[in-house]
Amino acid sequence: MRRLTLALLCGAYLSLSLIVAVGLWRSGGQWSAGVAALIGSLALAFAFHALIDAALTTVRIRGELGNIREAHLILARQLEKIDQRLGEVVETVTTDALRRSEELTSEVHSLEDAVQRMAEKMESQLSDRVAAAAPNALGRGPQSAALLDTVKAALAGNRVDLYLQPVVSLPQRRTVFYESFSRLRDETGRVMMPAEYLSVAEPEGLVAAIDNLLLFRCVQIVRRLAKQDRKVGIFCNISLASLSDEQFFPQFLDFLSANKDMAGALIFELGQAAFERRGAVEARHMARLADLGFRFSLDKVMDLDLDFQDLARSDIKFIKVGAQMLLDQLEESEGRLVIRSLPDLHASDFARLTRRYGVEVIIEKVESERQIVDILELDMAFGQGHLFGEPRAIRDAILAEAEPPAEFMRTSLRRASGW
């Protein structure tokens, strides 16, 4: 556009100069006078054009400088707003950090109070049990007495380890839950399995002490997983002794009431036989836990002819069935595959039946890929077993964070002289 304008102006200057030159020539002037007039007119025209162009360029530059100043002012105002916003964000983050620190301090104090109450209660109970069991101690065999001393020493030394085994979704095999187990260690570091120590721990009432410590650690592990934003639940065994204890349970309920945010991640588990033996006290305490949002699971299920309405009323959301036990009950009847204890129900409809009552089936003790093929044909959603991962001990560094104060177990057992 600028070039076209320049061309037009040059043409106008040339035309004007020619008109002046022709006018001089026709008025009687010489050819030389006409040429001189033409050259002079062109020179004056271009000089005038240069002046106009310089003036226009100056105006344009001033306009651009004005735009730059305006843009600079806008940028300065935006930077000022950003600086003000950053100040507000820093103040908000600082306030949130202080609030969370206060909440964490309050939670730690709550845990310490709960542990202290548990320790006092266990101290009293264990002292009474030791006194009651003293007359029978003389009749105990040397091997049982030695094993009992080992169990007591493990409790006193807080050598109770937490093991976790994954529970996976099927067929994806993605870990969605963990089941927790307790293991005791003797003074040499040898791990004792429950089958070894329960025979002497149960008569002495020591299982409740083990369960209480396991519950405490499960709560702490759930809290740690929540801080890592890992949405994984943990099955934690709870005994009838803990559910029926009218002194311990209210303290434990108070602790869980203050930590209701864990309700979706902590699932209390007890065996089918124990569930069927529960009395009014245990049922009432289970209902109070359910009121807080906590769920329950049945393991060691041996009879599949279950009262699903009773399970729903008791807030049982999971049942664990052994893989081989279930497969051994499958049989052909009138051309269809059924479960022996439920002959009127097609085997593949069992999982749909349980879901109708809000109960999911977890197939446990899965050991081989062949079992998986048969289990998937039954529309089972979850699996557990060595095929998916063996129980593994929590690392010492993590377990240290989940341990109660060092004096917890020692205080609980101090009254029993000789332990």
Query: Total structural domains in the chain?
Result: 2
pLDDT of residue 126: 47
In whole angstroms, give the CA distance from residue 184 to residue 172: 34
pLDDT of residue 20: 64
Print the SS3 string covering the chain. Answer: CHHHHHHHHHHHHHHHHHHHHHHHHHCCCCHHHHHHHHHHHHHHHHHHHHHHHHHHHHHHHHHHHHHHHHHHHHHHHHHHHHHHHHHHHHHHHHHHHHHHHHHHHHHHHHHHHHHHHHHHHHHHHHHHHHHHHHHHHCCCCHHHHHHHHHHHHHHHCCCEEEEEEEEEECCCCCEEEEEEEEEEECCCCCEECHHHHHHHHCCCCCHHHHHHHHHHHHHHHHHHHHHCCCCCEEEEECCHHHHHCCCHHHHHHHHHHCCHHHCCCEEEEEEHHHHHHCCHHHHHHHHHHHHCCCEEEEEEECCCCCCHHHHHHCCEEEEEEEHHHHHHCEEEECCEEEECCEEEEEHHHHHHHHHHCCCEEEEECCCCHHHHHHHHHCCCCEEECCCCCCCEECCHHHHHHCCCCCHHHHHHHCCCCCC
pLDDT of residue 16: 66
Both 67 and 144 in one domain: the answer is no
pLDDT of residue 288: 92
For 312-352, write each residue's pLDDT tens digit.
999 999 999 999 999 999 998 888 899 998 988 999 999 99
Both 53 and 176 in one domain: the answer is no
Q: Average of pLDDT values for 374-389?
A: 93
For 107-135, write each residue's pLDDT tens digit.
545 655 655 555 455 555 544 554 444 44
| Least trusted range by pLDDT, from 220-224, 226-230, 295-299, 413-417 | 413-417
**Percent of the chain beyond pLDDT 70?**
69
Structure-block tokens of residue 177: 């839950």
* 287 within some domain: yes
Both 195 and 334 in one domain: the answer is yes
| Least trusted range by pLDDT, from 44-58, 147-161, 288-302, 363-377 | 44-58
Pairwise pLDDT comparison (258 vs 316), residue with the higher score: 316
pLDDT of residue 406: 43
Q: 101: which strand partners?
A: none
Q: Average of pLDDT values for 7-19?
A: 66
pLDDT over 90 (residue 3) = no
pLDDT over 70 (residue 417) = no
Looking up residue 347, the CATH number of its domain turns out to be 3.20.20.450
In whole angstroms, give the CA distance from residue 356 to residue 78: 59
Both 57 and 147 in one domain: the answer is no
pLDDT of residue 35: 60
The one-letter code for the residue type at 278 is R
From 61, 77, 93, give the residue that closes a domain. 77
Both 229 and 312 in one domain: the answer is yes
Domain of 274, in residue numbers: 140-413
pLDDT over 70 (residue 396) = no
Both 237 and 361 in one domain: the answer is yes
pLDDT of residue 200: 78
* 393 within some domain: yes
How far are the Cα atoms of 55, 119, 400 from residue 404, in angstroms, in the given order?
A: 87, 10, 9
For 168-200, write each residue's pLDDT tens digit.
999 999 999 999 988 888 888 888 887 777 777
Both 275 and 401 in one domain: the answer is yes
pLDDT of residue 19: 73
Average pLDDT over the chain reads 77
pLDDT of residue 128: 55
pLDDT of residue 229: 62
pLDDT over 60 (residue 415) = no
Both 64 and 148 in one domain: the answer is no
* 97 within some domain: no
Both 171 and 295 in one domain: the answer is yes
pLDDT of residue 298: 95
* 294 within some domain: yes
* 149 within some domain: yes
Whether 149 and 184 have beta carbons less than 8 Å apart is answered as no
* 124 within some domain: no
Structure-block tokens of residue 71: 């843009």
pLDDT of residue 319: 96
In whole angstroms, give the CA distance from residue 7 to residue 12: 9
pLDDT over 60 (residue 42) = yes
pLDDT over 60 (residue 209) = yes
From 77, 101, 127, give the residue that closes a domain. 77
Both 333 and 214 in one domain: the answer is yes
pLDDT tier for residue 378 given thresholds of 50, 70 and 90: very high
Whether 119 and 407 have beta carbons less than 8 Å apart is answered as yes
Whether 150 and 416 have beta carbons less than 8 Å apart is answered as no
Whether 317 and 359 have beta carbons less than 8 Å apart is answered as yes
Q: Is 164 exposed, middle or buried (0-12, 13-18, 19+ CB in 10 A)?
A: buried
Decide the pairing of beta strands 233-237 and 175-185: parallel
* 86 within some domain: no
Whether 178 and 184 have beta carbons less than 8 Å apart is answered as no
* 418 within some domain: no
pLDDT of residue 37: 59
Both 363 and 288 in one domain: the answer is yes
Both 50 and 199 in one domain: the answer is no
pTM: 0.62
From 23, 42, 77, give the residue that closes a domain. 77
For 70-98, write each residue's pLDDT tens digit.
777 787 778 778 878 877 777 776 666 56
Whether 294 and 268 have beta carbons less than 8 Å apart is answered as yes
Q: Average of pLDDT values for 155-159?
A: 77
In whole angstroms, give the CA distance from residue 216 to residue 419: 23
